[in-house]
Amino acid sequence: MTPRERTAAHLQRLAQVATVSLLAATASQGQDPGYAVVDPMPPPAEPCEKTSDADLLSQLWVYASPIADGAYQVNLNASRFTDLSVAKDQKIDGASLVSRTDLGWGVQLVLKPAAATGPVVLHLGLSCQGKPKKLKATFPVGLSQANAALALE
């Protein structure tokens, strides 16, 4: 991924997080949300092999948002790493796969949840310089937007 693509992906993440934060702040009984300074430049990409599992999880980003007909668009952003790839197969509990798009910075899935409430759990294979890892991403259904809870299996 080029530096320009990483910067664009980082700015998109910042905008989405800012939107969620603003919605949460305004919903919290009319309190002033305050202001913060955000650095628009992402940190430079680095090899994932030099990263601990805890740091790997903190640098991955999985975000789910509803789209038409009860489906959810799920983005896995791995732009922080130069050598992390997402395996072509995935296991999904609580939803069916509608489509998958592999992007330079990660992967985008469109899922159709089996129920209007309850969690959806993704099991994704990752590869860090050929070393396999299994990522488990869990997000709730029924919210307007959600960051997934991440764990390595």
Q: What is the pLDDT of residue 24?
A: 59
The pLDDT of residue 92 is above 90:
yes
User: Smallest Cα–Cα separation from 73: which of 117, 118, 27, 120?
Assistant: 120
Please determine, for residue 12, whether its predicted confidence score (pLDDT) is greater than 80: yes
Parallel, antiparallel or unpaired: strands 146-147 and 61-66 = antiparallel
Q: Tell me what pLDDT residue 94 has.
A: 92
Spatial distance between the Cα atoms of 53 and 76, rounded to a whole number of angstroms: 17
- Was domain 43-152 assigned CATH 2.60.40? yes
pTM of the predicted protein model: 0.67
Distance (Å, whole) CA 143 – CA 13? 18
pLDDT of 19-46, one tens digit each? 766 665 555 555 555 666 666 776 677 8
